[in-house]
Structure 1
C-alpha cells in the first residue's frame, strides 16, 4: 500500500508544471492601463523635445523604447483576449492530472510488476542457484546458438593452409587413435572457426587419454564447448573445467571459465571470488587473465564490492626489447629468443588472446625475422578474422614489424 501511495504522489507532482502553465499569470497590470501610460509617455517625449530638455537623438531612442513597450502591451492584450475562461482551464487541469496519474498507473501495470513481493538477498541467491542447476545442456545450448546465429562464420583459410588441414583430416580418418594428430586437428579446426569439429576432436583425445588427460587438455575441451555454444558455459563444459582444476588448481583457463559460469547464472559474488586471486597471483600474460581483468570491475560492482584491479606492467613490447640494448649481445639475444620460443609454442598448442599474437609479431620484427613475423601475421588474421577489435591490434603489431599488407 505504501508503494501505491508514493506512486500516486509522484504522479501528482508530475502534473504540477502543467497546472502552473494553465494558471500562470505574469502579475502585470491590465494591458489597457499600460498602453495608456505608454501613450502619455510618447506625448511627454514630444513636449520635452520642444522644451529642449531632450536632444533629437535622445528623444528618438526614448521614443523607440516606449513604442516597443507599447507594442508588447498590445500583444499581451491580444493573448489575454484569447485565453480560455477560468472554468475551462479548471476542467483542463483536472483532465491533465487524471491522465497523468491514470496513465502512469496503466503503464506500470503493463510494464512493471504489480503485486511483486520484496526479494531479499537470500531469496535471490536461492533463485540463482536453482537456475544454475536447471540451465541448458551442452546439446541444447549448441542448438540454440545455431538457431539464433550466435556462432561466427568459419574463416576461409589460405590455399596452403587449406591443403594442410585437408591432409590432416584425411590422416585422422586413417589414424583415429593418434593423440598428437587429434591435438593438431582440434587446434586448427578451432582456428578456422569450425568449433564443432574442434570439440569433436578434443573429446576423442580426452577419451583416448583417459586418466592421463592433463589439466590443459580438459580445459581446452571445455573452452571449445563454450565456443560452440556461443559463449555459454554448460554443465558439461563446467565439468571439464572442474576436471582441469582437480589436476591443477592454478589453471588460468579453467579458472576464468569457472568464474564465467557463475556470472552467467546470477552469482557475480562467486565469479569475483574466483577471478580476484586469478588476477592477483597469475602472471599478467597468462591465458585468459586479460579477459578476467576486463570484466572484474563490473563483476565487483554487481557483487556490491568496491574493488580496484591491481595494476600490472605490460608484457614485453618492441620498445621493451629495444631498451635491452644495455645488455650484452649474447644475453639480449638469448632473452629474446627464449621469450619468442615460449610464446610461439604456447600459441601453437593452446592458442591465446590477440595481445599475445601481437606481442609475438612485434618480437619477431625486432629480431629481424620478418618472414616468420609475416607467417604469424597471416595466421593471426585467420584466427581473429571475425573479431574487428582483436584484428586491429594484430594489424598494428604487423605495421610495427614492417609486415602489414
Structure 2
C-alpha cells in the first residue's frame, strides 16, 4: 500500500472511530430513560452495564473472526449491527426495546473496537499510540455531541419529529451508514496473518491460545487497566449529571451539560495527547494523566459548588482521555505477532463498563452519589500501580 492510499484509507477509518463513539450515548440516554420510565439508579445502570457486558462475550471471538475474514470486513459487520441498534429506539422507548437496542449497540461496538484498532496499524506506519489517540479524539467528538443533541431534542429547540431526546438515534444512524459506504469503497491491503496460513489450527485452539496470553503479566495487567479506564469513563458519563442533581438541585436537562463537559475535555485531551505522545515519554504522560484523575475523584467526592464539580469533571475528562491508547499500545507492542488476539483480550477489558456501573448503582442507592465516586476511585488507585508497566 503506498502513502497516498494510506492517507485516503485513514479518512473512512477515522469516520469509523466517530461511529465507535456512538456507544457513549448510553450515559445520557440511561438518564433520560430513568426519568421517562421512573427507574431506580440500580435498574437504570443496567443499560450501560448491558452495553459493555457484550465485550466480555464477543471480543475474543472477534479476534478469531478477524483471522478468518480480515479486519476491514469485521469493521463493516460491526457498523451494520450498530446501525440496526440505532434504528430500534426510533419507534418506541419501552424498556424491552431499549434493552435490545443497547445490547446490539454493545455487540456492534465490541466488534468495532476489537477490529478497528488493529486496522489502524495496517493503514498507518509508526506512531501507533498517537494515531490511536487521534482516533479517540474523533470518537470523543461523537461522545460529547450526544448529550447536546439529546438536550436540544428534549427542549424542542430543533425539529425532533416527536422523538424528543431520541432524535440522536436517527442522526447517528445516518452517519453510521455513510461510514459503512466509505469504508466498503476504500481498498485496504491487509498483511497475511500466520493463523490464516495454518488451516489445521482449530477455532478451539485459537481460543485457547488467545486466553493463554493472559499468563503474560503485561497482557493481564493491561487487561485490568482497561477495565478500570472504561469503568471510570462510563461511570463519569453516567454519574456526573446525578451528582449535580443531588448536590445542586439541577434538572436533568441542566445537569446533562456535565456529560458534555466530560467529553469536551476528553476531546481536548485526545487532540493534545496525540501531540504530547510524540514529544514526551509515554510513561511521563501516563503519570500526569492518572494524577489528574486522582484530583478529580477528590473533587467529585467532597465538592458542593458548581465550580468545584465542573473542574473535577474536566480533570477526569482530560486525564482519562489517553489512558486507553497508552495501555492498548503497550500491550500491542509487547506482542506484535499476536495483534488480533491481544486486541480481542484488551477490548474484552471494556467489560469494566459493566462491572463499575453495577457496583456504582448499588453504592449510590445505598449512600448517595459519593458511593459511586468511591467505586471509581478504586480504579484510579489501580492505574497508579500500572505506571511501572508503561515504557518509554
Bigger share in helix: 2
Shared fold per TM-score greater than 0.5: no
TM-score (norm: length of structure 1): 0.22
Q: Larger relative contact order (C-alpha < 8 A, sep ≥ 6)?
A: 2
* TM score, norm. by length of structure 2: 0.23
